[in-house]
């Protein structure tokens, strides 16, 4: 339940910020071009807060946080006083209307640039992409990639950490092959490997692009020994102590921490016996795990953490830059994310990427919650990614989106005549149906991931 509330709160906050940014772009440019704005609303439905400014603009915070709008004075939908005719949206030139409509998506790109700039100024703690293991028979194994080597580029994209590796790999979905370059820790010699990805099967709801290729990142060794026991937790109440070494859970031998962590989830609210080695004495203790929800599933939890070796200092990095350098870094990351999004849309259209990869509001909410849980800089990165996606989606030539309006205005610009209202109405209906289908697919995929 707490996970759900955290994800929901993070989702509402993220969407509220991005919708406000988008609509403010329309609002600001409309005002600069002399258009009277009657309402600026974040959200739809009943107002939970509203205020009317001296200039007559009504500012609204509405109940349903799934969008927003800017209502401008328009003779096609309003009765306009003679003295206000020069303040109507439809009365402006086609260039002004294009500027007003395009301002929303542009604002999203500017916000992404700003969010990433702040992120790089603060600094992003990260880890060099050192390969820990290669799964036998995998695509990476067939390419002869070796463990304990650092990935320095993927398909021409320089990679300083695992996030950059993952983004570069996602961009390769649908491609028949691509190159990965690596180097050994004690050498500057660069090795190049070609991965044959004609049979690459990647399910984002089940695994990362790395694991789907057979690559496991390096992780410090996790010992099968308790290092942390939460106060008043089931483990503490059962008498477990720091330093206890895990031997078995019920009848299942736990020779490693991962086995124990996976097995304990199967006993929510049920007593189970834990066998430990304490100072060379074998002890069996009964413990009743608490029941908690994770990703909609009830699992067992006893409140312990294992002993883990420290990260090697040479692998720890911080992507932090000064005020000038951060501009270049944020611009490059914005460009990379924009290119990736356009590439994915193109591959969805051509069928190189399955529509099963689409995410809806549930997937976005989980992403918001996860990023917010990791810290402010990671939430900024998430906001930038979603802001870019929001900007690009709004530029799609669907009549209900900004891109559809821009298409009509571009036609008007070249023909010298407005697109007939009947044609626009048909287009709006088509656009609404297409958008609903996309939203339904996203929701279906979300539910499939949660329930599957």
Token code pair at residue 100: 């007003």
pLDDT tens-digit profile of 310-322?
998 888 988 889 9
> Is 92 strand, coil or helix?
coil
Domain count, the chain: 3
pLDDT tens-digit profile of 322-352?
999 999 999 998 998 888 888 777 776 766 6
Among 17-21, 357-361, 423-427, the range with the most confident prediction by mean pLDDT is: 17-21
More confident residue, 108 or 398: 108
**Do 389 and 255 fall into the same domain?**
no
Round to whole Å and give the CA distance between 307 and 304.
10
What's the pLDDT at 373?
58
| Packed helices 361-374 and 2-32: angle between N→C axes, nearest 10 degrees | 100
Per-chain mean pLDDT for the chain: 83
**Do 381 and 332 fall into the same domain?**
yes
Q: For the beta carbon of residue 294, count every other beta carbon within 10 angstroms.
A: 11
Q: Is the pLDDT of residue 231 over 50?
A: yes
pLDDT tens-digit profile of 116-131?
999 999 988 888 999 9
What's the pLDDT at 442?
55
Q: Is the pLDDT of residue 194 over 70?
A: yes
What's the pLDDT at 425?
76
What's the pLDDT at 361?
44
**Do 364 and 400 fall into the same domain?**
yes
**Do 315 and 348 fall into the same domain?**
no
Is the Cα dihedral 229, 233, 234, 238 positive or negative? positive
Token code pair at residue 348: 């969805």
Q: 244 to each of 57, 152, 256, 258, 404, how far by Cα in Å? A: 66, 40, 13, 16, 64
Question: Which of residues 319, 351, 375 is at a domain's end?
Answer: 319
Q: Do residues 205 and 238 make contact, with C-beta atoms less than 8 angstroms apart?
A: no
340 domain residue, yes or no: yes
Question: Which of residues 319, 344, 363 is at a domain's end?
Answer: 319
**Do 332 and 444 fall into the same domain?**
yes
Q: 130 to each of 162, 212, 328, 433, how far by Cα in Å? A: 9, 17, 26, 46
Q: pLDDT > 70: what percent of the chain?
A: 86
**Do 209 and 233 fall into the same domain?**
no
The average pLDDT across 169-181 equals 87
More confident residue, 364 or 176: 176
**Do 177 and 229 fall into the same domain?**
no
What CATH number does the domain containing 173 carry?
A: 2.30.42.10
29 domain residue, yes or no: no
pTM of this structure: 0.76
pLDDT tens-digit profile of 363-392?
444 554 455 455 678 888 888 888 988 888
**Do 167 and 315 fall into the same domain?**
yes
111 domain residue, yes or no: yes
**Do 365 and 285 fall into the same domain?**
no
Question: Which of residues 287, 319, 351 is at a domain's end?
Answer: 319
99 domain residue, yes or no: no
What's the pLDDT at 205?
60
What pLDDT band is residue 282 in, cutting at 50, 70 and 90?
very high
Cα angle 270, 271, 275; round to 5 = 135
**Do 169 and 315 fall into the same domain?**
yes
Residues annotated as catalytic are: 23
| Packed helices 2-32 and 376-394: angle between N→C axes, nearest 10 degrees | 50
300 domain residue, yes or no: yes
**Do 439 and 356 fall into the same domain?**
yes
197 domain residue, yes or no: yes
85 domain residue, yes or no: no
What's the pLDDT at 439?
62
Round to whole Å and give the CA distance between 295 and 408.
43
393 domain residue, yes or no: yes
**Do 278 and 345 fall into the same domain?**
no
Q: Residue 364 belongs to what domain range?
A: 3-7+104-122+322-452
């Amino acid at each position: 339940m707490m996970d759900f509330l955290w994800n929901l709160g993070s989702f509402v906050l993220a969407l509220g910020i991005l919708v406000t940014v988008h609509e403010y772009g329309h609002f600001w440019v409309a005002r600069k071009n002399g258009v009277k704005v009657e309402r600026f609303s974040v959200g739809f439905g009943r107002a939970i807060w509203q205020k009317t400014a001296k200039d007559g603009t009504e500012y609204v915070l509405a109940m349903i946080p799934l969008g927003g709008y800017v209502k401008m004075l328009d003779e096609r939908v309003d009765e306009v006083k003679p003295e206000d005719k020069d303040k109507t949206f439809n009365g402006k030139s086609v260039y002004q209307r294009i500027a007003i409509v395009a301002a929303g998506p542009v604002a999203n790109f500017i916000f992404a640039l700003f969010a990433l700039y702040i992120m790089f100024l603060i600094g992003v703690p990260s880890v060099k992409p050192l390969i820990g293991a290669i799964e036998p028979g995998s695509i990476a194994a067939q390419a002869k990639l070796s463990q304990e080597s650092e990935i320095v580029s993927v398909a021409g994209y320089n990679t300083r950490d695992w996030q950059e590796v993952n983004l570069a790999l996602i961009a390769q979905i649908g491609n028949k092959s691509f190159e990965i370059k690596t180097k050994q820790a004690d050498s500057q010699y660069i090795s190049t490997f070609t991965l044959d990805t004609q049979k690459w099967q990647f399910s984002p709801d089940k695994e990362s692009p790395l694991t789907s290729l057979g690559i496991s990142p390096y992780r410090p060794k996790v010992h099968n020994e308790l290092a942390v026991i939460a106060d008043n937790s089931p483990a503490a109440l059962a008498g477990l102590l720091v330093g206890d070494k895990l031997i078995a859970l019920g009848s299942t031998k736990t020779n490693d921490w991962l086995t124990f962590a996976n097995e304990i989830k199967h006993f929510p609210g049920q007593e189970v016996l834990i066998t430990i080695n304490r100072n060379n004495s074998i002890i069996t203790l009964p413990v009743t795990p608490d029941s908690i929800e994770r990703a909609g599933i009830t699992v067992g939890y006893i409140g312990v953490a294992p002993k883990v070796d420290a990260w090697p200092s040479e692998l720890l990095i911080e992507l932090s830059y000064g005020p000038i350098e951060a501009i270049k870094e944020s611009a490059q990351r914005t460009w990379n994310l924009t290119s990736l999004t356009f590439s994915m849309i193109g591959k969805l259209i051509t069928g190189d990427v399955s529509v099963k990869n689409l995410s809806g509001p549930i997937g976005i909410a989980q992403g918001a919650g996860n990023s917010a849980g990791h810290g402010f800089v990671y939430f900024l990165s998430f906001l930038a990614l979603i802001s870019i996606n929001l900007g690009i989606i709004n530029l799609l030539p669907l009549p209900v989106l900004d891109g559809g309006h821009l298409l009509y205005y571009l036609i008007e610009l070249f023909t010298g005549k407005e697109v007939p209202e009947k044609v626009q109405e048909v287009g709006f209906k088509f656009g609404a149906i297409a958008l609903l289908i996309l939203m339904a697919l996203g929701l279906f995929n979300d539910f499939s991931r949660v329930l599957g």
